[in-house]
Chains A and B, each alone.
Chain A
């Protein structure tokens, strides 16, 4: 029995300082205050331990992998805790922590506000799954891996997670850029670490080049601001941005947008993504697709609504419209190219392009509608809520799908779905979880993809009815394209799931596949539960969006608009009053679906215990073989012909005949489609650069005096330019 006075004394072995602080805090418990301040250090410590654990590979690679992933799991759990405390801590809750002074010219700091905390949550949710899934995957997929490779993978994974986490929590430009670069480098190591073949190396090189092109743009945007503000922290940047004229502001925004869009894989800057993402180990693919792209979305939001936003009045119209149009194009082209991919992980990577497009549609719409005259501010909140909700939704289902693809890959070592088949009988858990992810990503009720797309539709519709003229038509047309995207995604996943998991196994590897180990399934189950929870009870998740939406838009918070009628009902304030807005209840619909499924089950099985027997599939009298299964190429052929203008499909059929054309011995079919961005933009640029380098080669004589002359000339020109500018 304690009495009141005993509180705060504490056990005798506790240090005095700690007991004193406890007694001080105890009377007025501020939720998580003590824990959160040290939370960021805890996250850093966990990932740091994870990076150091790569040293253990000197003795045992297996030990290094185990300890490294355990540390990553702890870091992710700490990240979850910190982000939840900030998000649920009420409006305006921020956490600032100075970092050790590493550079004489800049003070580094971390600052976690609502937006940072939300992205920290997204990162940590997927990181938990990846850390659970990783060790078994690495063991099963590459048992012959050397210790150096294992050490590199453990080191890079923890560095990758740490950099993403602290990038979202960065309080100044230098921390942001350092983490950005660390994220790129560590993910590059992971991309090239998996298999040592030329294709991976080329994918890694392309990734490296494009990522650094993007970083260069970001660097210009940041340095232009820090130079004006005289300091690196975000508050100084904000103050510097207040005095910008509109042209400079817009130029800086587009520079930043270019940098982030390269990382996010927005069409036409996406070409690295479908090569690099599949090359990494599958749990890293899940992180890259599910989380790393979102970090770029974080950057766009931070720049548009926070750093560069004018003090009052709407954002320049060109910003929002560019993002909306680019998002729509990415969504449609991403899914169209995904449809024609037969490499399971590559297909998923193209779907990331699509989903980033869907998120950008919401972001762009929020940018257009924000602080507009005659538009209720609630609508911008709906659009931003849709975008942020899709961010976490996409992280959940894309993570799940990549992990599912990884399970298939580590059991069969095949990525081409034409060579799989029949895996549902051999890997029932993986198949079921992959199907769940497929339903979610196709935006079908009652799972989470539908919820965020529904919100996007409502925001687009509301925007279309308020923005008049051709602009309104663009918004509604973008809604129609979003509908097309959803339909095509369903077609694509009917193909991907059907050809991979159903029918007959088409190769020996597929025939002898076994179920993935339990820890891998546990990682997938975690994300599957997220998909279900976010789909069936989204109202509770929307409470977490209050802090970022209120902070960015300075308007009504998400739950005040979207779940104004209670957490079980989603509504979007299409009318200014918000009372007769369209409302749906995912919870009720899920309950109805379950009840109806039970009734249909009774109808199917309960009426009469009818005999069931198995028989071979009817194949017109021939004995059924795997050749009768519909292939992925055949499945996608009608859509390939319908959208031929975008694919430029090529096919080559050669027949080997036995002397007479009527006896065909063998038919060889090869078909491919082209990526329009690649042929129309990149190949041209490549040709131009090659031509340019050939001209330069003519001038490069090999004499050192000539080169010194060039350097001297360049220096003089640069000095003259500076003299002219700063006259």
Chain B
């Protein structure tokens, strides 16, 4: 069993993603604020929020069942486990196979499913509405995401993300096939949907007209809400990591040693920051779409992904 990434490295990368997840949210919020000519909160604000929530007491709906208390724990575990599948500081297949891109999407879907279940448990209309909308958007996003993964996997012959990133190697836009451009375009369309941002969702508000994901969190409180928030941050960085692994160039796997790891970490940070800037720009320049316009918006992504697939195969 040869592989470039020992299991310890994989787990350390996962832990790194957990630690950096809130920072990405903070950075996006800060960039958004500056783009909107506001001062904004510091980039560390999400960490402060998390610590505050973890130290608070809980208020639970009196109609909620026994499942409700374990939902945040399971959601967090599933999302963090997805983080173990994203290559961070080094590319290449892991020494012991853990999961591939399909497993990653499956774990994120598991987290979403459990979140929706939790939202229905309190017996309020807000939770149900959020769950209904989220579970409407998700089945439309997932197939397109998979098609983008397939369009890159068809050339690499694998769906393992580390191996996919290694296959991409250092080639950048000039070496791209037309299918890569279309796949990347589809991914850029999907990114706001998968990270729950404008124009699909609005992470800043609890207003019932706009919310999807926030609606599902409304009945959680204290440490439970903290876990859900951490899972949201984690989900965002994992999705960005997926895009980075599929489309951005990576250092060759054999650049071992401490310098190689540091360089890899630096490169990963740059890629994530570029994508974060993209999200901040989109959020600042567009309004949220009406719910029933979202399928049309995702249809653009679907068309791009299908064309990318067709170009790969025909």
Give the B-binding residues of A (Cβ under 8 A). 421-422, 424-425, 428, 431, 435, 439, 442-445, 450, 454, 457-458, 461, 464-465, 468-470, 472-473, 476-477, 479-481, 483-484, 486-488, 490-491, 493-495, 497-499, 501-504, 565, 569, 571, 574-575, 580-585, 588-589, 592-593, 596-597, 599-601, 603-605, 607-608, 610-619, 624, 626, 628-630, 634-639, 641-642
Contacts and interface: CB of A to CB of B under 8 A. Distances in A.
Given A461-B153, A600-B77, A580 B121 contact: no
A324 to B, nearest CB: 15
24 contacts: A443-B106, A461-B150, A465-B157, A465-B313, A469-B313, A473-B310, A479-B147, A483-B147, A484-B139, A490-B109, A490-B112, A584-B98, A584-B103, A585-B99, A589-B81, A592-B81, A600-B73, A601-B73, A607-B54, A616-B62, A617-B62, A624-B123, A635-B128, A639-B139
B150 A615 contact: no
B122 A494 contact: no
Contact of A502 (B65, B73, B81, B314): B65
Contacts of A630: 120, 125, 127-129, 131-132
Contacts of B8: none
Contacts of B281: none
B292 A504 contact: no
A638 B55 CA distance: 38
Given A424-B67, A457-B102, A498-B116, A583 B97 contact: yes
Nearest to A594: B77
Given A498-B121, A589-B81, A461 B159 contact: yes
Contacts of A421: 123
Given A575-B157, A614-B61, A502 B313 contact: no
Interface in B56-104: 56-67, 72-74, 76-78, 80-81, 84, 93, 96-100, 102-103
Interface centre among B133, B136, B140, B314 (most CB of A within 10 A): B136
A603 B227 contact: yes
B313 A503 contact: no
Contact of A581 (B84, B123, B132, B158): B158
Contacts of B314: 468-470, 472-473
A260 B81 CA distance: 42
A209 to B, nearest CB: 35
Interface residues of B, number: 87
B157 A580 contact: yes
Interface of B: 1, 54-67, 72-74, 76-78, 80-81, 84, 93, 96-100, 102-103, 106-107, 109-110, 112-113, 116-117, 119-125, 127-129, 131-133, 135-136, 138-144, 146-147, 150, 153-154, 157-160, 163, 218-219, 222-224, 226-227, 291-292, 295, 306, 309-310, 313-314
Contact of A638 (B54, B57, B133, B153): B133
B146 A479 contact: yes
A491 B224 contact: no
Nearest to B139: A487
A490 B77 contact: no
Nearest to B97: A583
B143 A628 contact: no
Contacts of B135: 490-491, 494-495, 635, 639
A491 B138 contact: yes
B177 to A, nearest CB: 14
B73 A444 contact: no
Given A439-B113, A502-B123, A628-B125, A588 B57 contact: no
B194 to A, nearest CB: 12
Contact of B142 (A486, A618, A638, A639): A486
Given A442-B113, A597-B74, A503 B121 contact: yes
A444 B117 contact: no
A494 to B, nearest CB: 4
Given A605-B223, A617-B219, A585 B131 contact: no
A376 B142 CA distance: 29
A503 B98 contact: no
A236 B74 CA distance: 57
Contacts of A497: 117
Nearest to B56: A610
The interface residues of chain B, by DSSP majority, are classed as helix
Contacts of A501: 65
B103 A600 contact: no
A454 B103 contact: yes
A490 B138 contact: yes
Nearest to B99: A584
Interface centre among A454, A480, A502, A618 (most CB of B within 10 A): A502
Contacts of B309: 473, 476-477, 480
B120 A483 contact: no
Contact of B97 (A469, A477, A584, A600): A584
A442 B295 CA distance: 22
A473 B310 CA distance: 6
B16 to A, nearest CB: 15
Nearest to B313: A472
A351 B313 CA distance: 32
A544 B100 CA distance: 25
Contacts of A629: 123-125, 128
Contacts of A617: 61-63, 122-124, 219
A36 B129 CA distance: 57
B131 to A, nearest CB: 6
Contacts of B129: 630
Contact of A465 (B117, B121, B154): B154
B66 A424 contact: yes
Contacts of A635: 128, 131-132, 135
B125 A585 contact: no
Contacts of B154: 461, 464-465, 476
Contacts of A457: 102, 146, 159
B3 to A, nearest CB: 10
Nearest to B298: A642
A593 B314 CA distance: 40
Contacts of B310: 473
Nearest to B296: A642
Contacts of B150: 461, 464, 476, 479-480
